[in-house]
């Protein structure tokens, strides 16, 4: 099922994000020539690529996903074998305050890439980053590839629309276009505005002696968390299949946010209840209470499984925070 990857050219739209950086490192390890895009390559924050030691190994291009001409110029110039569409506003919370930008960036950006590919003669393989947010509340029953979409945020709505576009272009024009419905996946490269990084960073500082308090919203929500480097490998595996298809990528286990917090503070030898306050202003206007994915198809077809449990994910993130603090002090 898996194709050879040496000397292939990959284009990662959104290479400066968590997933883009890990995917770039993974593809370089497979022998790919890797190109990436940011809205303004000259001003892009390259922290993730620098942290992984690959900044000088990828070619960066400026591309505005919402501008069809910009998209076409980059794709035609790079002439990639594979495109990974990871671009667009990625924060669920931010999508409530910036719904227009979220919808435009994700939906129009995806459409412009698909339209460019429709007019190309070459059969470029296209991966679209979907999201568990498309499903909304799954309840205790895990969502699979046939579960209806019931998004509860502008971000989820945008991702659901983009997935529908990918399916439409695959069926109408024969594009090798796929979507991965990835459930939550974390790493030390997760931006600080995300609650998981907010928790691990605060726990590490408090464990080192800070007297700050950590303010959080609803701790009873449950999420299916995995390790980001595992999940970018699933993206690659999806594009190596003989036929284009969509896949749920998840651990198959849900944990509450309270469990995540408790694990983080336990890692630094503290009881979370002594350091965390509830802040109602941090509760979203509409939130998913239970999110769980069914990764059976990915296991059977892609031979993919998550390899890192939640306690180890938290431990790795805490360790990275401590190492970063030590390097500053040193």
User: Do 245 and 269 belong together in one domain?
Assistant: no
Output the pLDDT for position 1: 38
Q: Choosing from 22, 84, 127, 155, which is the catalytic residue?
A: 155
Let me know if 115 is a catalytic residue: no
Question: Is 2 part of a structural domain of the chain?
Answer: no
| CATH number for the domain harbouring residue 161 | 3.40.50.720
Q: Choosing from 133, 186, 267, 321, which is the catalytic residue?
A: 133
User: Do 165 and 239 belong together in one domain?
Assistant: yes
Give the range of the structural domain holding residue 201, as residue numbers without chain letter.
195-222+254-291+308-329
Question: Is 302 part of a structural domain of the chain?
Answer: no
Q: What is the pLDDT of residues 225-267, one digit of tens each?
A: 999 999 999 999 999 999 999 999 999 999 999 999 999 999 9
Output the pLDDT for position 6: 59
User: Do 164 and 18 belong together in one domain?
Assistant: yes
Let me know if 131 is a catalytic residue: yes
Residue from 198, 202, 253, 249 nearest 223 by CA: 253
The Cα–Cα gap between 59 and 18 comes to 17
Q: Choosing from 90, 131, 132, 153, which is the catalytic residue?
A: 131
| CATH number for the domain harbouring residue 262 | 3.90.25.10
Q: What is the pLDDT of residues 207-229, one digit of tens each?
A: 999 999 999 999 999 999 999 99
Question: Is 24 part of a structural domain of the chain?
Answer: yes
Question: Is 4 part of a structural domain of the chain?
Answer: no
Let me know if 267 is a catalytic residue: no
User: Do 82 and 217 belong together in one domain?
Assistant: no
The predicted model scores a pTM of 0.94
**Count of structural domains, the chain:** 2
Residue 280, judged by CB atoms within 10 A of its CB (0-12, 13-18, 19+), counts as exposed
């Amino acid at each position: 099922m898996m194709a050879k990857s040496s000397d292939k050219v990959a284009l990662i739209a959104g290479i400066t994000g968590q997933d883009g950086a890990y995917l770039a490192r993974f593809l370089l390890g497979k022998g790919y020539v890797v190109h990436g895009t940011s809205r303004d390559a000259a001003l892009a924050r390259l922290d993730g690529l620098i942290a992984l030691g690959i900044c000088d190994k990828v070619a960066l291009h400026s591309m505005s996903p919402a501008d069809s001409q910009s998209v076409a110029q980059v794709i035609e110039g790079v002439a990639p074998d594979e495109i990974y569409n990871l671009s667009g506003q990625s924060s669920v919370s931010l999508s409530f305050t910036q719904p227009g930008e979220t919808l435009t960036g994700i939906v129009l950006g995806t459409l412009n890439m698909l339209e460019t590919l429709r007019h190309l003669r070459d059969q470029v393989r296209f991966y679209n980053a979907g999201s568990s947010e498309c499903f909304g509340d799954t309840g205790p029953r895990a969502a699979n590839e046939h579960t209806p979409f019931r998004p509860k945020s502008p971000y989820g709505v945008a991702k659901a629309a983009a997935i529908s576009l990918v399916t439409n272009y695959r069926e109408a024009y024969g594009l090798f276009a796929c979507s991965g419905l990835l459930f939550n996946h974390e790493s030390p490269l997760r931006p600080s505005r995300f609650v998981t990084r907010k928790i691990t960073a605060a726990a590490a500082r408090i464990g080192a002696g800070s007297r700050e308090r950590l303010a959080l919203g609803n701790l009873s929500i449950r999420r299916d968390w995995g390790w980001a480097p595992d999940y970018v490998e699933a993206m690659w595996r999806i594009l190596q299949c003989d036929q284009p298809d969509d896949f749920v990528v998840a651990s198959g286990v849900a944990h509450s946010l309270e469990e995540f917090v408790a694990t983080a503070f336990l890692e630094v030898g503290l009881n979370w209840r002594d350091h965390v306050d509830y802040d109602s202003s941090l509760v979203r206007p509409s939130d998913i209470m239970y999110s769980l994915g069914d990764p059976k198809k990915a296991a059977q077809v892609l031979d993919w499984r998550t390899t890192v449990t939640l306690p180890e994910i938290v431990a790795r993130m805490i360790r990275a925070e401590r190492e970063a603090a030590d390097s500053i002090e040193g």
